[in-house]
Amino acid sequence: MLGLRVTADLKRKLEAEALKSGRSLSQETEIRVQQSFDEEAREQKLAERDEKLVERVEDMLKKRDDEQEKLWREVEEAKNRLLDLIKRSEAEDEARK
């Protein structure tokens, strides 16, 4: 048994909904309280799911950034090798003259 004090306005709303649904005032109140707990549980599950999704996206972005950084290093290394080859070729050309 639970005694509950509510405002007159809330009591009128509960009575109206109980009448519409064919439930007693007590049943209507219990259902609505339970629904509030159920909604909180759903919101918590959604928040946890969203947090996991954000973590997965962050992981994917980090992996992409790491791969992109690796590619830039490889491009820089290739550019440097090419520049070295050009310098050697120019030096060889000068030596032949």
**pLDDT given at position 48:** 98
**pLDDT given at position 21:** 97
Give the E-state strand segments of 25-69 in sequence order. Answer: none
| Alpha-carbon gap, residue 19 to 13, rounded angstroms | 10
In the block, tokens 């950034």 appear at: 65
Within 8 A by CB and 6+ apart from 18, the residues are 24, 25, 27, 28
**pLDDT given at position 62:** 98
The rounded Cα 40 to chain-centroid distance in angstroms is 19
Q: Block means of pLDDT (10 residues each) for the chain, length 97 residues? A: 92 97 96 98 98 98 98 98 96 88
- Here the tokens at position 17 are 């909904």
Write down the domain spans for the chain: 8-96
**pLDDT given at position 82:** 97
Task: Work out the number of other CB atoms within 10 angstroms of the CB of residue 81.
Answer: 10
